[in-house]
Structure 1
Amino acid sequence: MRTGDRKKKRREEAFPADFDDRIMPGDDLLPDGFVPEETPEEPERDSSRRRTRHQETAVRDISRSLMEGADIPEGSSSRPGEQGKHKGQGRRGRRPRSRALTLIGNIFKFILIVLLVLIIGGGIFAFFQVRAILKNAPEISPAQFIPSEAATYIYDADGKREQKLTLPEANRDLVSIKDIPKDLQHAVVAIEDERFYRHNGVDPKGIARALVKGLKSGHFSEGASTITQQLLKNSVFPDWMKETTFRQRLERKIQEQFLALKLEKMLTKEQILEDYLNTINLGAGCYGVQSAAYRYFGLPVSELSLSEATVIAGITQNPTAYNPITNPEKNKKRRTEVLNAMLRQGYITQSQYASALADDVYARIQDNESKVDTTSTIYTFYQDALIDQVMQDLEEQKGYTHQQAYKAVYSGGLRIYSAQDDDIQQICDEEFENPANFPSGTEVGIDYALSVEDKSGQITDYGNEDLRVFVRKTNPSFDLMYGTAQEAKDGAAAFRASVVKDGDTVLGERVTVAPQPQASCVIIDSATGLVKALVGGRGTKEASLTLNRASYTQRQPGSTFKILAVYAPALDEAGKTLATVYKDEPYNYEDGTPVKDAEGTYAGDVTIRQAIVRSINVAAVKCLTEITPQVGFDYAEKFGITSLVESKTTDGGTFSDVGQTLALGGLTYGVTNLELTGAYAAIANDGQYLKPHFYTQVLDTYGNVVLDNTDPEPRTVIRDSTAALLTSAMRGVISDPEGTAYGKIELGQMAAAGKTGTTTDYRDSWFVGFTPYLTCGIWAGYDNNAPLPDKDTYHTYSKTLWNSIMSRISQSQTISAFGMPSDVVSVSICSDSHMAAAPGCPNPYTEYFAKGTEPKNYCNIHGDGSPVDQTQQQTDGISPDAITIYKSDQATVHTQTPDAADGASGSAGENTGAAGPGGNQGAAGNTGGASGSGSAGGNTGVAGPGGTQGTAGNTPGGSGNPAAGTGNAGGAGGAAGGGSGSTTGGTPSGTGNPAGSSQQGGQSTAGGSSTSAAGNAQGGSSQNGVIQIGGNQAGSGIQQGGSDKDVIEILNNIPPAQ
C-alpha cells in the first residue's frame, strides 16, 4: 500500500462518517428546517483540516462538560486516556502542542529577523555615525606632541639656575629621551602599557582584558588606553576632563584610537615615549619627568636610580593619591607594583628588585622637601624688572602681543640669562637693611585696598584715600604713616570693621606695610649698559611684582636733570664751555614765577663749572633759555628718558615738558631711577648711550637665540669731549668744599663724579654718580610724596647710602682715574676775566675745553687781550694712555706712562704750555730754557686743578716757583726726575741721585736712566710726572692759583714712591 493510501485510511478510521453527528451536542439548537448548505467537495487536504477543527471543538466541549459535571456525549470515553487506546487518538491529543512549538518557532524566527534587521540597520547607522565622528577628528602633526608649555628659568652669569617662572599647567622641563634613564622608561612602560613596543597604537588584548574585568566586577574602572592614546588625550584632547556625557566620551575614545593608529605611523616609539614623559602630570604641580625629578629628589632626571625612577612611575595613575610627599605609603605600595611588573616582564633582575625594595627612598624625598625654598616663588625686585623687560622686548622686537609675551615668559620654556652680579647685589641688599644708612625714627607706611560686596550684589572698592579720610576723623594730620607695622595693621582692621556690614562679603583685601622714608638703587656697568644690581625698596618683599621704586615709580629728578637737559646740550652743540659765565641773581620764569635756589642767596657771576658744583638754579634756567627748552628736551630724550611729555591735553589743560622748568627737573610725570641712572651711564661711557638691560640673552627650549644683548649697539648722545668735560665738573660736586656732596662721598683712591638732586621741600632726594666702572643712582623719599623733615640725616641719606654701597664695591676693583680724550685741551684762565690768563693775572686756574672752544684772547683786565698762541696749549695730562692704577692691597703706585711728547720751544720757559692736571710744570719744549733760568718761571706751567705735575717734555720748561728757576717751594713733579742742574733760585745742582730718583718727586723710570745727576732734569718724563694727580706726595704742591676746587685730590694720601 502506498504511503498516501495508508495516510488516507488512517484519517478515515480516526474520523468516521458520523463523527460530526456524534460530537456536535448543540444540534438541537439549530432552527427547524435548517438544511446545511451543501459544500462542494474539497481536496483531501482541506477536508482533513476541517475535521481537525471539529475534533478540537469536541475536545474543548468534552473538557468543559467534565468541568461542569455534564454528561459526556455518547461515544466518548469517560476515562482520561481512553481515546489513547484507539489507533491514532494519541497523535491527535499531542497535536495542539506541536502547533504551539511552531508558533514559538515562528516568533523566534521573527525576532531573529528583526534583530538581524536591527543589527544590519544599526551597523549601517553606526558606520555613518563613526564615519562622521572620524571625519571631525582633529588633524595631527608630529610637532604638536612636543609640549608647547614649559617652565622658563632665569640663570645667573655663571649659568646657575636662579628662578623658575611658570604657570600651574606649564611646570615642566623638556628633556630628551637620551637623558631619561632606561630604568624610568621601562618602569613607565611596564606599569602603563606592557605591550607598548609591540602594538600599533591600540591594544586589543588590553581592551579585551578591561572588558572582561568590567563584566565580572560590574564597573569598568580599568582603562585600556595605550601610552600613544594617553599622549593624544593629553595633547590633542586637553579638555577631556570636562566631558559630562557618555556620547562625548565615546566620540573622543573613537577619535583617540583612530588617531593613535595614525600617530604610530608618524613617530617612532622613542619619540612617542619622549613626548609622553615630558607631558604627564606627576603631582605636586609637576608636569614631565624632569620637573618631577627636581621636585622630589633635587636631581636632574638623568641621575635617578632605579628605586627613584619607580617612585615617579608609580605616580602616573593618580598624581594626587600617589604623591610621594603627601602620601608616601600609597606611593610605596604602587612602587612595589611597578617593580613587580618590571621583574615579571624581564626589565630587571631579582637582585635589582630586592635592592630597590630595600632602598629607603622616601627618607630622601622628605629630606629634599625640607630644603625646598618655599619663598622662592617670590621674585626679587631685580627679577621683577627683568621679567617686565623681557616681555617688553618680545613685544617691541618680535611683534608679540602682550598676551603672547606673557605666555612666552611664563610657559614658553625660555632660558633667560641675567646680567645681575650676585656680589654687588648682596652688598646693595645688606646696605639697604642697615639702619645706619637711614634716618632714625623710621615710620611705617601702609598701602591698603579692600573690595566688598553687599547683599544686593553691589561691589565697593576702598583704597588709601578712604583709609586716610577715616583716620583723619580722629587724627587730622594722618598721612598714611604709622609708628609700627602693627599699628598700621590695626588701623586697617578698624577701617574694615567700619565699612563691612552684616551680610557683606569681603571679596579681597590687601594690607602692605613698608618702612618710610623709602629708597631705591640701580647700578649699571657703564661700558655695557647691563644692570648689575637693583633694589626696589626697603623692607621685606612679600610678593612678586609689587611696587618697584627703582624701575617703575616715576619721581621728579630735581637738579640731576640739569646735566642732561641743560649743560650737556650747552657744551655739546651750543658753543658753551665750563668757563661760560652766568650771573646768579634774582630771576623769573617767563610767567613771572621767581627762580629760587635752595639757600635763597645769590652768588653773582658763576661759571658753568661752578653752577654744576654748587647746583645753582638761576644759571641753569638762564642757560636752558638761551639754548632753548626744545633742544634740552630733545637731548633728554636722546639720553633715554621716555616719560617726557612734549604736549598733552587733559582735563581742559595742556601739559608740556618743553619749558624753562625742564632745567630744574620739573616734569609732568617724573622719571624712573632706572632711566636716570642709564642716562648718567652714557656720560660715564664717553657719551655713548646703551639702554639698560637686565639680561644678556634669552634662548628658547632648543637653545635658539630669541633676544640678545651680548653686543649692544650704542647710540651717540654727546661727543666724548662733552662727556669728559661734564665728568670733570661733576668731580667737583664730590671733591670741592663748595660741592653739594662734599664730605659725603669717600671712595678712597677710586675716582668718582656725580650730581645731587632735590625737589621742592625735599620731597625727593637723589644722588647719581659714577666711577670709571659703574654708575649708581639712589633715590630717597616718602612713598606718599611727603616732604623729608629738615632734621637729622633726612636730607642727606641718599648720598650716605650711595657711599656705603659704592665704597664697598670699589674695594674689590682696581683703582682708576677718569680718562680725557685727545680733543680736550687745558688752558690757564684768569679768575676775574675768565679769559686766557696773562702773565699778570693774580689767581689763574686751569680749565678744560673741547678743541676749538678754548679762549682766543688773553685777559684784558691784567693783560692786553692779545690773541692766544694756540700752539702753546696743552692737552690734558689725564688720558686713556696715562692712568694711575692703585690697588688697595698694595703700598706702591704703578704707573703706565707713554713716551713724553715733544713740546713747543719756548724762550726761558716763559708760558711754555699750561700745566696738565697733575701739577706745576708745563710741557717743556725740546729747546726750552734750562730749568730755573727762565724769566718769571713761576707762571710757567701754572698748576692744573688738583695735581702736582704736568706732562713732562724732554727738558723741563721751568718749575712752578714764583721765583725764577727751580725751587723746593713749588715741589713740582718736573723736579722729580733728578733735580735741576741749575743753582739759580732753587735746589743746588745734583740733588737727584745718579739713578734719576728725586728727593722731591717720585721714582723715575722713563727719564731717570741717566747716570748723571741732572739726567732727569734734562731727560725724559718722571714716572709720576704725567699721571700723579694731587695727593700728599712729598714735593708736590699747588702754586700760583693752581687749585680749582672742583678737581682736586682724586688720589689722596698715596705714599711717596721709594
Structure 2
Amino acid sequence: MVNRSHGRHVNVVQLLALILALVLLAGVGGILAGGLLVPLAAGAKTVTDTAVQVFDDLPDELEPGPLSEQSVIVANDGKTVIARYWTENRIVVPQDEVSDNMQNAVVATEDKRFYEHGGVDVEGTARAAVNNFAGGDQQGASTLTQQYVKNVLIEKAVRDDDPLAIEAAQESTLERKAKEAKLAISLEKQMTKDEILEAYLNIAQFGVGIYGVETAARYYFGKNAADLNVTESATIAGITKSPTAYDPTRNPEDTESRRNIVLKLMYEQGYITKDEYDTARSSSIEDTLDVHPTEAGCQANQTYAWFCDYVTKEIVDNELYGETAEERQELLYRGGLTITTTIDPDMQKEAQKSVAAGVPADDDSGLESALASIEPGTGKILAMAQNRPYDATTEPEPFTTAINYSADPAHGNSGGFQVGSTFKPFVLAEWLRSGHTLYDEVPAAKQTYVVNQFDTSPCTRLSSQPWSPANAEGVASGNISALEATKKSVNSAYVAMGKQLNLCDLAETAWDIGYRPTTTAIATDTHAKGDKLNAPTEEDVNVFAPMIIGTQASAPLLQASAYGTFASGGTYCEPLAITKVTDTDGNTIVEPESTCTEEAIDPDIANTVAYAMTQAFTPGGTASNDGLADGRPAAAKTGTTNLSSQTWFNGYTPQISTSVWVGNAESEDDHLQFEVNGVWYTPLYGGDVAGPIWTDFMDDAVAGMPVEDFGAPSASMIGTPAPPPAPAPTSDDSDDSDSDSGDSDGGDGGDSDGGGNGNSGGNGNGNGNGGDDSGSED
C-alpha cells in the first residue's frame, strides 16, 4: 500500500529548505546563497511571508496529455510490420507489462523514498542543499514525481511547437524547480504512486531517440519490458541519467559502470540478493545486448516502401483522418496508431522480386518498371512494387527515386504514362454496349481520316485535320472481326471501330469502368496540355480521335482497378489501402470500406470483354507466351506506345487484377532497337518484358487459389462468324481479281505523315506536331 503520510502539506521550514536547495542547485553561487542566509537570520517572518506568496503564485494544476507514441503500419495479416512512424519512438504499456526488476531498478536509482514522500523529498532536498552549499559534488533532489512533471511540461511544449516553453521546462532556474515542486505535490493528490511510476516509465528517455521502457527493452534486448531481468533492467534504468553518455551502443564501458551503480543501489535497498548482484555485475554489456535497430518511415523497409508511401499520403491528405493536414500529420507521427492495410505480404514480396528481376534497378537500359495488383470486387490493394528503390532523402543514391510510378499524382507525384493499347478494352466495351458484336467486321488496313469525321457530339467538336494511325505489332489486311482485332491488337481495325462509335459515350463508358487519367493529353477549358490530375473527373477523359488507341496517361494501380471491373463481372471499386485504424488503446478511429459501383457496366459486357481478352494468350495473340503455368483462365491486354517508349501488360483472373508498366519515367525515348536485362528487342513490346513480369508474379500470386472461370459471355454479343471467303478465282476470270483490301503497315514505329497526322499529335484540336507523337502501337 502506498504511504502518503509525508509531504501532503509543505510547511514553512520545508518551503524555505526547498527554496534554499533550489537556489543552490540552480548554480547561482555563494553571493545569492549568502544573501539569502542574511534575511533568514535577521527576519525569518519577512522571508517566510515572501516565500509563501511566491510559492502560492506558482501553478498547481498539471494535466498530462497523451504521450507521443510510434504509429505502426501492418499488412492484412495484422502482424507483418510495413513501417513505423514517430516523432518520439515510444510504445506505451501498462505497469503490469513492465517487470518488477525494471520498476525496482528505476525506484532504487531515481527516488528511493518514492513511496514515502508526497511529491517533494524534504530529506533529499535538505541533503542536497547542505552538500552543494558546502562545495561538494552537485547533487540533485528531484523526486520521481518531479522528474515526471518536467517530462510532461517538455512533452506539452513539443506538441504545441513552443520553443520558449521547451527552453523554460529545461532551464536550471529557481522558478522552474519551484514550479515542478508545487506541481509534483499537487499531482500526488490526483494520482496514485503506481500511476505515477507507470507514467514515468513510459515518458522517460532511455537512449538517443528511445522513449519509454518498452521501446528500450525491444531495442537493446529484443524483448518486451515484461521479460527484463535484473541485469537488463539495471542497464536501462542507468541510461536516463544521461541518454547519450550512457547509451550502451555508443559507450559500453561507461554504461557498464553506470549499470553497476544501479545494481549496487538495488542490492543496498533490498531489491536483489547478493548472488543476483554478483552475477549481474560479472556480465559485460556487450554480452547482454541484443540490439534490434528500428528505423522510422518507408525507406526502412524497401519491400513495402512504395505501398507505405501510398498509405502515408492517404492518411496525411485524406480528411477522413483529420480536418487539417497538420492534424493528420500529428496523428500519424504521435498518435500511436495501428494502421491495418490491405497489402498481402506474400504477394508483395513476390511482386518486388518480379519487377526487380525483370528490369534490375541499375540495368544499362535505364528503364523503370512498376506493378500494382488489386482484388476485384473490393478494390483492396494486394501488391505495389517498383524496380527502383525508394529514397526520399535530399541526396538520393543512384538508381533510386521517391516518385511512386504505380500511383496517381495525389499519392505518388507521378504523371502516369500513356496507356497505349491497354485502352482498347474500354473501346470494346463501348462497341458491345452500342449494339455491335465480337464477330462484326471492320477494315484492318491503314487509312487516313479527317478527325471531325468521328462522332463527338454533344461534348466537343473536332477540327478537319487528317490523321493516319499506324500499326506495329498487330498487322492485318482486309476485313477482320473485333475479336481478332483485340487478339492481335490491330490499331487500324480499332480506329475503324471507333469511327462507328460516339467518342463522348466512349469516354463515359471508360470512366464507368474505372479508367482514370493522370494527365491531360490535350488542352481543355480547365487544363493545359500535360497538367497532372490529382482528382480527375469524367470530364478529364479527353475526347479526341487518338483516344481510341490510348494516348492519355494513367498509372498501374488505376489500370489494375479498371481491369478489375471486367474481372468482377462489372463492379468497379476504387483502390483501397487501409481497412482499419485504431488508437493506442485498440479503439477504432476509422474503418474505411470499399467504395464500389455494382454493375458499373452490364455484366454481359464485362464477361464478353473478358472472353475476348482471353484470346491474347492463344497462338497469334499478343500475349501468347505469357499464359499462367497452371493453365487457369486469365485475360490480358498488352500495350505499347509510339516508338515503344512505354509498354504495358494488364491482366487478371477472377481473383486478382494486375497491371505492369515498363518504360522511361523521365522521357519518351524510343525503344525500337533496345537491350533490356541482356536481351535484345527490335522493338520492345508490352509482351516482351512487362508480360513475363506479370506472369512471374501471377503464377505465385494465384498458387493455391481455386481455379475459377469468368462469367459466361453473352452469345448475342459474340455474334456470328462471317462466312468463309469465296473460292479463289479461276484463271478464266483472273482479270477481275482485286484482292487489294488496303495496305498493311507493319512495325514502322509510327508513321509520320506531317501536318499533325500522328497517333496523338493529330488530335483534331489543333495540337498536331507533325508526327505520331506517343500513339499506341500494339
Q: What's the TM-score bracket when you normalise by the shorter of the two chains?
A: 0.7 to 0.9
Deviation at 1:726, TM superposition (A): 0.7
Does residue 471 of structure 2 align to residue 548 of structure 1? no
Q: Which residue is equivalent to 1:597?
A: 470
| Aligned residue runs from structure 1 range 320-719, under 5 A | 320-360=244-284, 362-365=286-289, 368-369=290-291, 378-380=300-302, 382-393=304-315, 395-434=318-357, 437=358, 516-538=366-388, 546-551=402-407, 552=412, 553=414, 554-564=416-426, 566-572=427-433, 574-584=434-444, 586=447, 587-590=449-452, 591=463, 592-599=465-472, 603-621=477-495, 623-624=497-498, 627-638=501-512, 639=514, 641=516, 643=518, 647-649=524-526, 657-667=542-552, 670-709=553-592, 715-719=598-602
| Aligned residue runs from structure 1 range 929-944, under 5 A | none
Deviation at 1:282, TM superposition (A): 0.6
Kept in 2, the 8 Å contact 1:688–1:716? The answer is yes
Equivalent in 98, 113, 117 of residue 199 of structure 1:
117
Deviates more, 1:649-658 or 1:233-242: 649-658
Deviation at 1:113, TM superposition (A): 12
SS at match of 2:554: coil
Deviation at 1:190, TM superposition (A): 1.0
Deviation at 1:555, TM superposition (A): 0.7
| Aligned residue runs from structure 1 range 53-92, under 5 A | none
| Aligned residue runs from structure 1 range 813-962, under 5 A | 813-820=705-712, 829-832=720-723
| Aligned residue runs from structure 1 range 37-56, under 5 A | none
Kept in 2, the 8 Å contact 1:243–1:249? The answer is no
Q: What amino acid is aligned across from residue 610 of structure 2 in structure 1?
A: T
Per-residue CA deviation, residues 369-411 of structure 1 (Å, 9 max, x unaligned), is: 3888999953326333334335424623234422322232233
Q: What amino acid is aligned across from residue 217 of structure 1 in structure 2?
A: G
Kept in 1, the 8 Å contact 2:302–2:390? The answer is no
SS at match of 1:369: coil
Q: Which residue is equivalent to 1:156?
A: 75
Inter-CA distance 264–637: structure 2 relative to 1 (3 Å threshold): farther
Deviation at 1:165, TM superposition (A): 2.1
Deviation at 1:133, TM superposition (A): 4.0
| Aligned residue runs from structure 1 range 223-372, under 5 A | 223-238=140-155, 243=167, 249-360=173-284, 362-365=286-289, 368-369=290-291
Per-residue CA deviation, residues 634-670 of structure 1 (Å, 9 max, x unaligned), is: 3333316263659454679999713333222222xx2
TM-score of the aligned structures, taking structure 1 as reference length: 0.55
Instruction: Provide the rounded CA distance (Å) in 2 between the counterparts of 1:230 and 1:720.
Output: 67
Instruction: Provide the rounded CA distance (Å) in 2 between the counterparts of 1:376 and 1:119.
Output: 63
Instruction: Provide the rounded CA distance (Å) in 1 between the counterparts of 2:425 and 2:209.
Output: 52
Deviates more, 1:223-232 or 1:387-396: 387-396
TM-score of the aligned structures, taking structure 2 as reference length: 0.73
Kept in 2, the 8 Å contact 1:207–1:224? The answer is yes
Deviation at 1:768, TM superposition (A): 0.2
Kept in 1, the 8 Å contact 2:439–2:718? The answer is no
Q: Which residue is equivalent to 2:693?
A: 801
The structure number with the bigger radius of gyration is 1
Deviation at 1:691, TM superposition (A): 2.3
Q: What amino acid is aligned across from residue 439 of structure 2 in structure 1?
A: A
Deviation at 1:745, TM superposition (A): 3.3
Does residue 642 of structure 2 align to residue 760 of structure 1? yes
Equivalent in 742, 766, 789 of residue 672 of structure 2:
789
Per-residue CA deviation, residues 830-865 of structure 1 (Å, 9 max, x unaligned), is: 41499xxxxxx99xxxxxxxxxxxxxxxxxxxxxxx
Unaligned runs of 5+ in 2: 1-36, 158-163, 453-462, 532-539, 675-679, 728-778
SS at match of 1:403: helix
Deviation at 1:315, TM superposition (A): 0.9
Q: What amino acid is aligned across from residue 207 of structure 1 in structure 2?
A: T
Kept in 1, the 8 Å contact 2:390–2:402? The answer is no
Inter-CA distance 817–337: structure 2 relative to 1 (3 Å threshold): same
Q: What amino acid is aligned across from residue 594 of structure 1 in structure 2?
A: W
Deviation at 1:185, TM superposition (A): 0.7
Q: What amino acid is aligned across from residue 582 of structure 1 in structure 2?
A: V
Kept in 2, the 8 Å contact 1:516–1:783? The answer is no
Deviates more, 1:603-612 or 1:169-178: 603-612
Number of corresponding residues: 636
Instruction: Provide the rounded CA distance (Å) in 2 between the counterparts of 1:570 and 1:140.
Output: 70
Inter-CA distance 376–247: structure 2 relative to 1 (3 Å threshold): closer
SS at match of 2:90: coil
SS at match of 1:559: helix
Kept in 1, the 8 Å contact 2:439–2:722? The answer is no
Inter-CA distance 538–598: structure 2 relative to 1 (3 Å threshold): farther
SS at match of 1:207: helix
Deviation at 1:694, TM superposition (A): 3.4
| Aligned residue runs from structure 1 range 15-54, under 5 A | none
Deviation at 1:297, TM superposition (A): 0.5
Unaligned runs of 5+ in 1: 1-111, 446-482, 484-514, 835-840, 843-1058
Kept in 2, the 8 Å contact 1:721–1:824? The answer is no
Deviates more, 1:271-280 or 1:636-645: 636-645
Q: What amino acid is aligned across from residue 797 of structure 1 in structure 2?
A: V
Inter-CA distance 684–130: structure 2 relative to 1 (3 Å threshold): same
Deviation at 1:360, TM superposition (A): 4.7
Kept in 2, the 8 Å contact 1:733–1:741? The answer is yes
Instruction: Provide the rounded CA distance (Å) in 2 between the counterparts of 1:534 and 1:309.
Output: 42
Instruction: Provide the rounded CA distance (Å) in 2 between the counterparts of 1:547 and 1:114.
Output: 70
Between the aligned residues of both structures, percent identity stands at 28
SS at match of 2:211: coil
Deviation at 1:290, TM superposition (A): 0.7
Deviation at 1:321, TM superposition (A): 1.3
Kept in 2, the 8 Å contact 1:379–1:545? The answer is no
Instruction: Provide the rounded CA distance (Å) in 1 between the counterparts of 2:93 and 2:169.
Output: 36
Does residue 102 of structure 2 align to residue 178 of structure 1? no
Instruction: Provide the rounded CA distance (Å) in 2 between the counterparts of 1:245 and 1:677.
Output: 53
Instruction: Provide the rounded CA distance (Å) in 1 between the counterparts of 2:43 and 2:345.
Output: 77
SS at match of 1:236: helix
Instruction: Provide the rounded CA distance (Å) in 2 between the counterparts of 1:808 and 1:679.
Output: 22
Kept in 1, the 8 Å contact 2:305–2:390? The answer is no
Deviation at 1:705, TM superposition (A): 2.1
Q: What amino acid is aligned across from residue 587 of structure 2 in structure 1?
A: N
Q: What amino acid is aligned across from residue 284 of structure 1 in structure 2?
A: V
Instruction: Provide the rounded CA distance (Å) in 1 between the counterparts of 2:147 and 2:39.
Output: 40
SS at match of 1:388: helix
Instruction: Provide the rounded CA distance (Å) in 1 between the counterparts of 2:219 and 2:331.
Output: 22
Higher relative contact order (CA 8 A, sep 6+): 2
